[in-house]
């Protein structure tokens, strides 16, 4: 097993233990060192997001805070597990509120 495969498995397992269902993969080509994490976080029970006339969603403050907290938690966990830190850590994180 190579380093990238092991790193992907370790990150996915750590996120699952922390309660974040996630999809983890590495980039290809010139982005081969990037690790891309897509994680689900619970949506707040009090939500008043609105859809604009253009079809975009304006997030309410509780959802903005939940996204921000989930993003920070996932990023900190990935940094801790992989040992990546610094200016060029090559970690992409996307949080989906469900």
pLDDT tens for 54-79 read 989 899 999 999 999 999 999 999 99
User: Which phi and psi angles does 53 have, rounded to 5°?
Assistant: -65, -20
User: Which phi and psi angles does 91 have, rounded to 5°?
Assistant: -120, 125
Residues recorded for the chain: 98
Query: What does the domain layout of the chain look like in residue ranges?
Result: 3-97
- What's the rounded Cα separation, in Å, for the pair 51 and 53? 7
Strands 50-51 and 57-58, sheet pairing: antiparallel
Per-residue pLDDT for 1 more than 60? no
| Least confident among 12-16, 33-37, 76-80, 87-91 | 87-91
DSSP one-letter code for 31? G
Q: 24, 4 in Cβ contact below 8 A?
A: no
Q: 44, 62 in Cβ contact below 8 A?
A: yes
Fold of 3-97: GMP Synthetase; Chain A, domain 3 (3.30.300)
pTM (2 d.p.): 0.88
Q: How many CB atoms lie within 10 A of CB 64?
A: 14
- Model confidence pLDDT, tens digit, residues 28-41: 988 888 999 999 99
């Amino acid at each position: 097993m190579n380093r990238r495969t092991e790193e992907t498995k370790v990150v996915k397992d750590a996120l699952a233990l922390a309660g974040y269902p996630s999809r983890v993969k590495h980039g290809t080509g010139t982005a081969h060192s990037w690790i891309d994490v897509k994680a689900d976080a619970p949506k707040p029970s009090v939500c008043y997001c609105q859809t604009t006339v253009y079809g975009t969603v304006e997030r309410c403050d509780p959802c903005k805070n939940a996204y921000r907290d989930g993003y920070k938690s996932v990023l900190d966990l990935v940094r801790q597990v992989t040992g990546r830190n610094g200016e060029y850590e090559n970690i992409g994180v996307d949080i989906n509120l469900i």
